[in-house]
């Protein structure tokens, strides 16, 4: 299994531009999580899906952030418009059924907004 796949690995953009981050979870996993990691705030859960349905988006910082999961093998996190304070590493993780199961993390997307 290739694990969780994220693209791009690095993204540099200018303030005001739209940014789309992509994630392919592990096949058969029914939970998908989006996290943001910064030095100041550590690892924050932004949103998670179960069977492609958003369950909890309370961590999404602003309306500029949106996430979708059109099918079991693909999810996007979009920022529009982007701001310098959005610079961070964004991780996607997936998990099989069961609250105690391991979350498998992707390698992350390092976003820099100039």
Partner 1 sequence: AQSVTQLDSQVPVFEEAPVELRCNYSSSVSVYLFWYVQYPNQGLQLLLKYLSGSTLVKGINGFEAEFNKSQTSFHLRKPSVHISDTAEYFCAVTGGGNKLTFGTGTQLKVEL
Contact segment (CB under 8 A) with partner 1 among 17-25, 44-52, 60-68, 72-80 equals 44-52
Question: Which residue's CB is nearer to partner 1, number 74 or number 105?
Answer: 105
| Strand locations in 1-114 (E) | 5-7, 10-13, 19-24, 31-38, 42-50, 53-56, 65-71, 74-79, 88-95, 104-105, 109-113
Where does the chain have alpha helices with state H?
none
List the interface residues with partner 1, window 61-90 (CB under 8 A): none
Q: Are strands 10-13 and 65-71 parallel, antiparallel or unpaired?
A: unpaired
Q: How far is the CB of 16 from partner 1 (least distance, A)?
A: 27
Q: Tell whether residue 5 is a contact of partner 1 (CB under 8 A).
A: no
Name the site residues for partner 1 (rule: CB under 8 A).
4, 31, 42-43, 45, 48, 50, 55-56, 91, 93, 99-100, 102-108
């Amino acid at each position: 299994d290739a694990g969780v796949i994220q693209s791009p690995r690095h993204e540099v953009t200018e303030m005001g531009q739209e940014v789309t981050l992509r994630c392919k979870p592990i096949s058969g996993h029914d939970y998908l999580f989006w996290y943001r990691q910064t030095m100041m705030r550590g690892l924050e859960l932004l949103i998670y899906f179960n069977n492609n349905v958003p369950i909890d988006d309370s961590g999404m910082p602003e309306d500029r952030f949106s996430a979708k999961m059109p099918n079991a093998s693909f999810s996007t996190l979009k920022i529009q418009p982007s701001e310098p304070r959005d610079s961070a590493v964004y991780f996607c993780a997936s998990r099989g059924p069961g609250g105690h199961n391991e979350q498998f993390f992707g390698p992350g997307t390092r976003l820099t907004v100039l």
